[in-house]
């Protein structure tokens, strides 16, 4: 395993979570996006210049790749279908039954996130899910820190409205 | 908005993260997808471009070849003569019967009119006296 592959393995689960967020929780598309992003990193077409952390860099690549994939989705439909027929058997953990066992809290959060604007949802995910700072989230999204902070505040406020209140322990 | 709000949100996101992590595909599978992807097909425009280029090159060669071969002087003279001596096949239609009369100049010796002779010099003087 190369150094770059080891670095990918270290944050693979978080990268998959970010890919899911960029693909509107579409697992199939997220996996495809993740694959393309990894290939970009491994073959050098996306080069890590060490101006930020590797995680921030990789998240930027995943986000850009997801945007490209969405833009070209109608073109790649045939390719995806072909890939689906030739892909290896899915791992047992990825079966639909396991997905349906998601906790109620997570379901409510997922539903609430879909009602935020795209930017707000992305900032919420990067800050709360990925534990990035607002500055790092801004770098991933390619926006200013001030703009990211604004999306963060509005998104948080909106989430509080949308999520059901829970009894404090 | 307070710290407990943030904590609640973080807990919810943490739950979502744990579930996602449990369902994440193994890295090896994500990387392996590359190997089952069909090889990229060559672009379709390449054969078309090759044909167009070949046709353009052939045309250029033919034009240059036709311009480069200059005829010799004898050939040029013969060609000029053939052009200058050329008559249209329909020229014969312009020849009408009787048209040769106005085209020919009449000669006096052939006239049928008898003219009086001119007077001599002596008769001419007597008359004047």
- Would you state the structure tokens that stand for residue B7, as one six-digit string? 């904590």
Chain A residues whose beta carbon lies within 8 Å of the beta carbon of residue B19: 102-103, 106
Calpha distance B70→B116 (Å, rounded):
71
Residue A133 and residue A50 share a domain: no
Number of independent structural domains in chain A:
2
pLDDT, tens digit (0-9, with 9 covering 90-100), for A26-63: 888 888 899 999 999 998 888 888 888 899 999 999 99
Looking at the fold, whether A52 and A80 belong to one and the same domain comes out as yes
Are A106 and B21 inside 8 Å of each other by CB? no
Which is higher by pLDDT, B61 or B70? B61
Please identify which residue in the block is written with the tokens 């404090």.
Answer: A168
The Cα–Cα gap between A157 and A148 comes to 14
CATH number at residue A137: 1.10.10.10
Burial code (b: 16+ CB inside 10 Å, e: under 16) for A110-127 equals bebbeebeebbbbbbbbb
- pLDDT computed for residue B30 by the predictor: 85
A73/B22 Cα distance (integer angstroms)? 27
More confident residue, A18 or B106: A18
pLDDT value at A22 more than 80:
yes
pLDDT category of residue B40 using cuts at 50, 70 and 90: low
CA distance B97 to B101: 9
Looking at the fold, whether A122 and A69 belong to one and the same domain comes out as no
Higher pLDDT, A164 or A137: A137
Q: What is the pLDDT of residues A67-115, one digit of tens each?
A: 888 777 766 666 666 666 666 655 555 455 545 545 677 788 888 898 9
Q: Which of A90, A118, A153 represents a domain boundary (last residue)?
A: A90
Q: For the beta carbon of residue A106, count every other beta carbon within 10 angstroms.
A: 18
Q: Do B12 and A105 touch (CB under 8 A)?
A: yes
Residue A95 within any structural domain of the chain: no
Contacts of A99 in chain B (CB under 8 A): 23
- Residue A97 falls inside a structural domain: no
Answer whether residue A57 is part of any domain.
yes
Q: What is the ipTM of this complex?
A: 0.71
Minimum Cα–Cα distance from B17: chain A residue: A129
Distance, in angstroms, between A52 CA and closest chain B CA? 23
User: A139 and A75, same structural domain?
Assistant: no
List chain A residues with CB under 8 Å of B1: 153, 156-157, 160
Tokens 């190369």 — which residue? Answer: A2
CB-neighbour burial class of residue B20 (10 A; exposed 0-12, middle 13-18, buried 19+): buried
Nearest CA distance, A51 vs chain B (angstrom):
25
A85 and A108 housed in the same domain? no
Beta-carbon separation of A129 and B12 below 8 A: no
Same domain, A5 and A73: yes
Pick from A57, A94, A163, A129: which is nearest to B17 by CA?
Answer: A129
* Segments forming the whole domain that contains residue A48: 1-90
The predicted pLDDT at position A99 comes to: 52
Residue A11 lies in a domain: yes
In 3D, which of B2, B15, B1, B5 has the Cα closest to residue A168? B5
Angle between helices A54-71 and A134-141 (to 10 degrees): 40
CB contact under 8 A, B24 and A129: no
Question: Closest to B13 (Cβ–Cβ): which among A35, A109, A166?
Answer: A109
B25-51 average pLDDT score: 72
**Which residues in B lie closer than 8 A to residue A97 (C-beta atoms)?**
none
Same-domain status, A118 and A80 = no
Per-residue pLDDT, A98: 47
The answer to whether position A24 is within a domain reads yes
Same domain, yes or no: A86 and A28: yes
């Amino acid at each position: 395993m190369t150094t770059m592959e080891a670095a990918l393995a270290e944050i693979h689960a978080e990268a998959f979570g970010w890919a899911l967020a960029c693909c509107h929780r579409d697992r199939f598309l997220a996996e495809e996006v993740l694959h393309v992003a990894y290939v970009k990193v491994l073959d050098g077409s996306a080069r890590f210049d060490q101006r930020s952390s590797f995680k921030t860099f990789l998240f930027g690549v995943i986000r850009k790749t997801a945007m490209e994939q969405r833009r070209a989705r109608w073109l790649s439909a045939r390719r995806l279908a072909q890939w689906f027929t030739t892909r290896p058997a899915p791992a047992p953990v990825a079966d639909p039954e396991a997905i349906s066992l998601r906790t109620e809290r997570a379901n409510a959060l997922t539903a609430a996130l879909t009602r935020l604007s795209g930017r707000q949802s992305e900032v919420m995910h990067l800050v709360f899910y990925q534990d990035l700072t607002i500055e790092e989230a801004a770098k991933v999204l390619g926006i200013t820190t001030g703009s990211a902070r604004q999306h963060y505040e509005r998104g948080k406020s909106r989430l509080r409205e949308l999520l059901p209140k829970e009894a404090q322990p | 908005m307070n710290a407990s709000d943030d904590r609640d949100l973080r807990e919810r996101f943490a739950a979502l993260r744990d579930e996602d992590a449990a369902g994440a595909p193994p890295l090896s599978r994500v990387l392996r997808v590359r190997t089952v992807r069909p090889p990229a097909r060559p672009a379709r425009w390449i054969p078309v471009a090759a044909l167009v280029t070949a046709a353009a090159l052939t045309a250029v060669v033919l034009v240059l070849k036709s311009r480069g071969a200059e005829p010799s002087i004898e050939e040029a003279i013969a060609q000029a003569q053939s052009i200058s001596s050329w008559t249209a096949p329909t020229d014969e239609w312009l020849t009408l019967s009787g048209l040769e009369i106005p085209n020919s100049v009449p000669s006096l010796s052939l006239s049928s009119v008898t003219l009086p002779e001119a007077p001599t010099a002596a008769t001419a003087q007597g008359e004047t006296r």
